[in-house]
Amino acid sequence: MCGGIVARASRTRKSLGFLLLLFSIAHLPRHADAKILRGDLVTSENWAFVARFCFLTERGTFRYHFQLGGEERDLNLLLYYDAAHQWPSIYPSNKTCWEKESILDIDHGQIIPLNTSTRLSGCVQGDDGVVRCDSRRRFISARPRWWYVALADCSSKNGLNVTYWMSLTNAPPGTFWREHFSADEFYILPVLITTACIYVILVTLSLHIALQLRSRRLLHISYKLFVASLLCQLLGVLCEIYSYVNLGLRGIPAINAYLLGQLSEACSETLYTVLMLLLALGYTVTKSVLTTSQVRWLVTFVGTTAFLQMLLYIYEFAIFDPGVVLYIYESPPGYGLIALKLIAWFVFITRCCKTIRKLNSKLHFYASLLSLGSAWFLCHPLTVLTVTIFVDKWVRESVAKGSSLWIVFLGHVTFLYVTRPSVNNKRFPFHIRTCQVVPIGGQGQDHGYEPGPRTAVTAFTIARTPAYLSSN
C-alpha cells in the first residue's frame, strides 16, 4: 500500500484465541493506508516522517491543514522525492535535523515554512493564539515519483506537537479511478474486479463438476479442498474490492475488510498448497489413507505456514516502516514464507517421483501435476525476486498484486481442467470410490482398486437338478 502516517500509537493486545488474534491485528496501528490523513503528531524528536505517496507527473495535488501546538517557532514542511541523493540518503540515518533539511531546495518548493510571516504557507494566527495553516501544492516531475512528507523544527528542544489533515490526490475531485489512488495502485481495482468475475465463473464450474463427481461417488476430500480454495480466493478478492472502493469514494480504505481479504487469499493459497502435497503423496489417487508420519508432516507444514502468514500481517501492521519498506515480502516473515515454499516444492517433486514409480498407470496425471505444481511453487518466489529487484518502485504494488492473482488463477484453472470428468480426459486422477474406505491392501499402499482387466471368480455354483429328483 502507498501513503501513510508516522504517528505510532503502540498497543499491546493479548490473544485468547484465533478470532481475538485477528481482532487485535485489525486494530494495530497501520501505516501507509489512507490518502486522506488526519491525526495528532506528538513526538520528542524535532524531525518526523508523516506520509508517502506516489504522485503522477504534473497531476499530483497535496492539500494540508496544520494546527500548531504553540511551541513550534521554526516548523517546516519538508517534501522529499525518491532520488538516491534525496530520501534514501537521509532515511533511515543518524543525520541531524539540520543535515536532513539541508539537502532540500527551498526555491523548488521542497521546504515550506509553517509560520505567519510566509504568505505562501497559508498560515494565520487566530484570536485564540493558535496558528493554523491551510494551503496546497502541485507536484511536477519528469515521471511518477514517490514523495515523502516530513515535519521538522530543528531549533525545537521539546519535540513536535502538531494536529494535521492532509489530502493526497492524483486527479480532480470526482475522478473515482484515480483521485485518491497512489500512482502505483491505479490498476489494482480493475484487476480485482476482473478477477472476481472470473472466479464467479470458476466457482460455478467447480460446483457443477463436484455434482458430477458426487453422482459417481468420486467427490474426494482433495476436490473439496480445491473448491474451498476457490471460495476463499473469491471472498478475499471481494473484500479487497470493497476496501479499494471505499478508498476511491472517501479517500480512506476499509482496513478490516482489506485484512480479511488478505487472510482469505492466504488461506486459499495454503489450501491449494496442501492439495498439491496430498496429490503428490498419492492421496485419493493411488491410496486412500496416509501414514502417521505423512499426516504429522502435513500438520507441521500447515501450522508453520499459518504462523508465518499471521506473523507477516502482524509485522506489516505493527512494525513495517512505510518510509523504507514498499513490498510486504521484504521482511523476515516474508523470507520465511518463500523458504518454506521452496522446501515444499522439493518435497512435492520427490513424492511425485516416488508415486509415479509405484504406479505407471497414473503417468499422464502426474506429468501434468509435476508441471502444474512446479509452476505453482516456483512462480511465487521468482515473482517476489523479480518485483523486488527489477520492477520500479512506483509500479511495484500493481505489478506484485497482478502477478500474485495471475499465479493463483493459473493454478486453479489448470487443476479444474485436469480434473474434469470427461471420457477423453486421460489425466483424470480419481478412480477410487468414496465408499471404498481402504483399498484391498488394507494400509492404503495397494492399488487393487485401479481399473483394469480382471479374472471372473465364481463365488457360487448352481448345478442342474438330477432327473430322478425332478420326477419326484
What is the DSSP secondary-structure string of 121-187?
A: GTEEE-TTS-EEEEEEEEE--SS-EEEEEEEE-TT-SS-EEEEEEEEEESS-TT-TTTSSS-GGGTT
Residue 453 lies in a domain: no
Q: From CA 239, how far away is CA 254, in angstroms rounded?
A: 9
Residue 146 lies in a domain: yes
Cα dihedral: 352, 354, 359, 362 (round 10): 10
Q: From CA 421, how far away is CA 428, in angstroms rounded?
A: 7
Residue 51 lies in a domain: yes
Q: From CA 460, how far away is CA 440, in angstroms rounded?
A: 22
Output the domain CATH number for residue 214: 1.20.1070
Q: From CA 362, how far away is CA 296, in angstroms rounded?
A: 26
Least trusted range by pLDDT, from 196-205, 282-291, 401-410: 282-291
What mean pLDDT is reported for the chain?
Answer: 80
b/e 115-132 (16+ beta carbons within 10 angstroms → b): beeeeebbbeeeeeeebb
Claim to verify: residue 238 and residue 354 sit in the same structural domain: yes
pLDDT for 111 equals: 93
Reported confidence tier of residue 145, pLDDT bands at 50, 70, 90: confident
Q: From CA 285, how far away is CA 16, in angstroms rounded?
A: 40
Claim to verify: residue 165 and residue 190 sit in the same structural domain: no
Claim to verify: residue 142 and residue 277 sit in the same structural domain: no
The last residue of one of the domains, among 119, 135, 169, is: 169
Pairing outcome for strands 160-169 and 60-68? antiparallel
- Please identify which residue in the block is written with the cell numbers 523504507: 324
pLDDT for 211 equals: 93
Reported confidence tier of residue 121, pLDDT bands at 50, 70, 90: confident
Residue 130 lies in a domain: yes
Claim to verify: residue 118 and residue 267 sit in the same structural domain: no
* Overall average pLDDT of the 305-310 stretch: 82
Reported confidence tier of residue 422, pLDDT bands at 50, 70, 90: confident
* Overall average pLDDT of the 335-352 stretch: 87
pLDDT for 267 equals: 92
Claim to verify: residue 205 and residue 289 sit in the same structural domain: yes
Question: Which strand (E) or helix (H) includes residue 51?
Answer: strand 47-55
At position 133, the amino acid (one-letter code) is: C
Reported confidence tier of residue 326, pLDDT bands at 50, 70, 90: low
Claim to verify: residue 163 and residue 208 sit in the same structural domain: no
> Is the pLDDT assigned to residue 190 strictly greater than 80?
yes
Enumerate the H helices of 184-290 as residue ranges.
188-215, 221-250, 255-280
pLDDT for 457 equals: 40
* Overall average pLDDT of the 84-106 stretch: 92
Residue 195 lies in a domain: yes
The last residue of one of the domains, among 371, 394, 419, is: 419
> Is the pLDDT assigned to residue 282 strictly greater than 50?
yes
Residue 198 lies in a domain: yes
Residue from 268, 277, 319 nearest 300 by CA: 277
Claim to verify: residue 265 and residue 341 sit in the same structural domain: yes
Q: What is the DSSP string of 397-456?
A: HHHHHHHHHHHHHHHHHHHHHHT---TT-TT----S-TT--S-TTSSS---TTS------
> Is the pLDDT assigned to residue 466 strictly greater than 70?
no
* Overall average pLDDT of the 111-137 stretch: 87
All residues at 6 or more sequence positions from 316 whose CB lies less than 8 Å from its CB, including other chains: 328, 331
Claim to verify: residue 356 and residue 299 sit in the same structural domain: yes
Residue 57 lies in a domain: yes
Q: What is the DSSP string of 312-324?
A: HHHHHHHT--TTT
Claim to verify: residue 214 and residue 360 sit in the same structural domain: yes
Pairing outcome for strands 145-152 and 47-55? antiparallel
The gap between the terminal CA atoms of the chain, to the nearest Å, is 96
Measured from the Cβ of residue 104, the count of other Cβ atoms closer than 10 Å reads 20
* Overall average pLDDT of the 200-227 stretch: 92
* Overall average pLDDT of the 194-203 stretch: 97
Residue 460 lies in a domain: no
Find the domain containing 299 and state its range: 185-419
Q: From CA 255, how far away is CA 158, in angstroms rounded?
A: 33
Claim to verify: residue 163 and residue 223 sit in the same structural domain: no
Report which of residues 95 and 15 the model is more confident about. Answer: 95
Q: From CA 297, how far away is CA 443, in angstroms rounded?
A: 18
Assigned C-alpha cell, 260: 480479511
Report which of residues 144 and 208 the model is more confident about. Answer: 208
pLDDT for 70 equals: 66
* Overall average pLDDT of the 183-200 stretch: 94
Assigned C-alpha cell, 107: 526555491
> Is the pLDDT assigned to residue 465 strictly greater than 50?
no
Claim to verify: residue 127 and residue 221 sit in the same structural domain: no
pLDDT for 436 equals: 59
pLDDT for 434 equals: 66
Give the distance from CA 55 to its chain's centroid. Answer: 24
How many domains is the chain partitioned into structurally?
2
pLDDT for 203 equals: 97
Q: From CA 175, how far away is CA 169, in angstroms rounded?
A: 10
Claim to verify: residue 129 and residue 202 sit in the same structural domain: no
368-to-152, 223, 401, 442 alpha-carbon distances in Å: 59, 16, 26, 28
The last residue of one of the domains, among 136, 169, 202, is: 169
